[in-house]
Structure 1
Amino acid sequence: MTRHQHIRRNTTRAIFMAIIILQDLVPFFGNIPLGPLSITTLHVTVILAAIILGPGEGAIIGGVWGALTWVRAFVAPTSPLAPLVFTNPLVAILPRVLIGLVAGYLFRLVLRYRHSERVAAILAATAGTLTNTGLVLGLIYLFYRTPAVAQAYGVDVSHLLPALMAIVATNGLAELALAVIMVPLVVIPVREVQRRLE
């Protein structure tokens, strides 16, 4: 890697980190309320970083999001649920790191089999989104089948699993649709520019 490429990579990483921080801190930028739903957009940024910069960089950007989620659960919770579950780094950080790894490596794997960048981007967006949604909700159910967490979802403990599945079917599908639309729209032109600069 040349010095110029190294500088460009570091600058791009810093831009992605700044975007993640802004999305996390600015209302309606990282979480878009749509009626009863609250659609996060941060996973899209992590997936984009993983595809554009590589899985390792995507994991770093995801880790920044996870660390912000973890810290905010202690100092400025965004919901009644946050201090109950996101103070655990396995729930707050691990799924966000894995978004980058899963999306980045899957994108490379699909390209290796001669599929188009659009197909690779859609599959990476799908896998990255499902990694986040599935792991966060799965870990909540695994570690936090408690009355306090169930109450935060407005149910009793015996109905926690159906409540989590309802979130997958509403928020999860909306976030998946957002990622599947946005990721190819950004990735294809950016990778074309990358090829010209190499």
Structure 2
Amino acid sequence: MKNRTNIRWLTQLALLVAILLVLNYTPLGYLQIGPLSASLLTVPVAIGAMTMGPTAGAILGGVFGATSFIQALEGKSAMGSALFQVSPFGTFVVCFVARVLVGLCAGLIFKALCKALPKKEKLCCFLGGLAAPVLNTAFFMGFLVLIFYNCEYVQNLAGTLGATNAFMFIVLLVGVQAIFEWVICCLVAGAVSLPVRKYLKMN
């Protein structure tokens, strides 16, 4: 029974990793809403964290972060490439470590919600779906400001945006796009996780 459970867990994890990679390397990972482009990359991370636990969330976050760091190495991300020139280790923290923490913390928050609201699983799933993109914004921007705020590239970007302090820089850089991402991930991850969790309990 334990072997069957482990195989199922690994199979589910592999499926979510595959979905994450497809979303990351194709236009499917971005939803165009008028002039805004909302990322869906935190959706598989949130689903894994809620249906498989914090460990799976951390692994999926690590995959997300690894692809982000690779894009910085390859120069496919303008910001990532610029940050890498300033500090390769700092870029690794912003891209990879931040995303591992997103998946881990999303799973822990969901577990805490389920314990606090045992009869509100549906609400917990949608709140868990919201937690992942909010944490992604918080950790990414938090590490970015902590490590790179005083470097020339970020200061030039802050000047272009008209930001006079770190908090204003975060607000102006994130903008309305982050809110769209939060709402979309909340709805999609919550809607998918709820029936998956019920199926897993039945089997």
Q: With structure 2 as the length reference, what TM-score do the two structures score?
A: 0.86
Aligned partner of 1:121 among 125, 132, 147: 125
| Letter of the structure 2 residue corresponding to residue 149 of structure 1 | V
Figure out how many residues of one structure are paired with residues of the other and give that number: 195
Q: Deviations over 1:123-147 (max 9, x none)?
A: 2222222111011112222222233
SS at match of 1:185: helix
Contact 1:102 1:124 in 2 (8 A): no
Root mean square deviation, CA, Å:
2.1
Question: Which of structure 1's runs of 4+ aligned residues deviate more than 4 A?
Answer: none
Aligned to 1:185: 191
Instruction: Report deviation, 1:38.
Output: 2.6
Q: Deviations over 1:28-70 (max 9, x none)?
A: 2122343443311111110101111110011001101101111
CA distance in 2: counterparts of 1:107 and 1:92, whole angstroms: 23
Aligned partner of 2:154 among 124, 149, 153: 149
Per the alignment, do residues 183 and 92 of structure 1 end up closer, same or farther by CA in structure 2, a change over 3 Å counting?
Answer: same
Contact 1:147 1:156 in 2 (8 A): no
Per the alignment, do residues 157 and 172 of structure 1 end up closer, same or farther by CA in structure 2, a change over 3 Å counting?
Answer: closer
Contact 2:127 2:190 in 1 (8 A): no
Instruction: Report deviation, 1:159.
Output: 6.2
Instruction: Report deviation, 1:104.
Output: 0.9
1:5 corresponds to 2:5: yes
Aligned ranges for residues 101-180 of structure 1 at < 5 Å? Answer: 101-113=104-116, 114-145=118-149, 146-152=151-157, 154-155=160-161, 158=164, 161-180=167-186
Q: With structure 1 as the length reference, what TM-score do the two structures score?
A: 0.88
Unaligned stretches of 5+ residues in structure 1: none
Unaligned stretches of 5+ residues in structure 2: none
Identity of counterpart residues, as a percentage? Answer: 26
Decide which moves more: 30-39 or 56-65.
Answer: 30-39
Aligned to 2:60: 61
Instruction: Report deviation, 1:157.
Output: 7.0
Higher helix share: 2
1:17 corresponds to 2:17: yes
